[in-house]
Homo-oligomer: A and B are copies of this chain.
Amino acid sequence: MTTPEAREEAVLEAVRKRRERVNDAIPEELPIQKPERLYEASRYLLDAGGKRLRPTVLLTAGESLVDAEPLTTDYREFPTLYGAGDDSSAAAAGPDTIDLMDAAVSVEVIQSFTLIHDDIMDDDDLRRGVPAVHREYDLETAILAGDTLYSKAFEIMLETGAAPDRAVEALNILATTCTKICEGQSLDVTFEERDDVTPDEYLEMVEQKTAVLYAASACLPAVLLGADDETIDALYGYGLDIGRAFQIQDDVLDLTVPSEKLGKQRGSDLVENKQTLITVHAREQGVDVESLVDTDDVDAVTEAEIDDAVAELEAAGSIGYANEMARDLVAQGKERLEVLPDNEARELLFDIADYLIERGY
Give residues in A with beta carbon < 8 Å to B: 34-35, 37-38, 117, 120-121, 139-141, 143-144, 146-148, 150-152, 154-155, 158, 163-165, 167-168, 171-172, 174-179, 182-183, 185-187, 189-190
Bound-state Cα–Cα, A179 to B42, Å: 12
Q: Can you show 20 pairs from A to B with CB atoms below 8 A apart? A: A35-B183, A38-B186, A120-B139, A120-B143, A121-B140, A121-B144, A141-B186, A144-B182, A146-B147, A147-B150, A147-B182, A148-B186, A150-B178, A154-B178, A155-B176, A155-B179, A158-B171, A158-B172, A164-B168, A171-B171
User: Given the interface contacts A35-B190, A154-B171, A165-B164, does A182 sit within 8 Å of B121 by beta carbon?
Assistant: no
B178 touches A147 (CB 8 A): yes
| Closest B residue to A179 using CB positions | B151
Chain B residues within 8 Å of A182, by CB: 38, 144, 147-148, 151
Contact of A167 among B35, B38, B147, B168 (CB under 8 A): B168
Chain B residues within 8 Å of A120, by CB: 139-140, 143
B117 touches A143 (CB 8 A): yes
B158 touches A175 (CB 8 A): yes
B178 touches A144 (CB 8 A): no
Closest Cβ of chain B to A135, distance in Å, is 15
Stoichiometry, as copies per complex, reads: 2
Bound-state Cα–Cα, A163 to B93, Å: 14
| Closest B residue to A143 using CB positions | B117
Contact of A148 among B144, B168, B183 (CB under 8 A): B183
A187 touches B35 (CB 8 A): yes
Bound-state Cα–Cα, A179 to B148, Å: 5
Closest Cβ of chain B to A40, distance in Å, is 11
Main secondary structure of the interface of A (DSSP, over half): helix
Closest Cβ of chain B to A112, distance in Å, is 13
Chain B residues within 8 Å of A141, by CB: 186, 189
Closest Cβ of chain B to A333, distance in Å, is 25
A185 touches B152 (CB 8 A): no
A38 touches B183 (CB 8 A): yes
Closest Cβ of chain B to A37, distance in Å, is 7
Bound-state Cα–Cα, A183 to B140, Å: 13
Bound-state Cα–Cα, A37 to B186, Å: 8
Chain B residues within 8 Å of A186, by CB: 35, 37-38, 141, 144, 148
Bound-state Cα–Cα, A147 to B143, Å: 10
Bound-state Cα–Cα, A180 to B330, Å: 41
Closest Cβ of chain B to A273, distance in Å, is 15
B187 touches A175 (CB 8 A): no
Chain B residues within 8 Å of A189, by CB: 140-141, 144
Lowest 7 A-B CB distances belong to which pairs?
A: A151-B178, A164-B164, A154-B175, A38-B186, A121-B140, A148-B182, A164-B165
Chain B residues within 8 Å of A178, by CB: 147, 150-151, 154
| Closest B residue to A171 using CB positions | B171
Bound-state Cα–Cα, A151 to B181, Å: 10
Chain B residues within 8 Å of A171, by CB: 154, 158, 168, 171
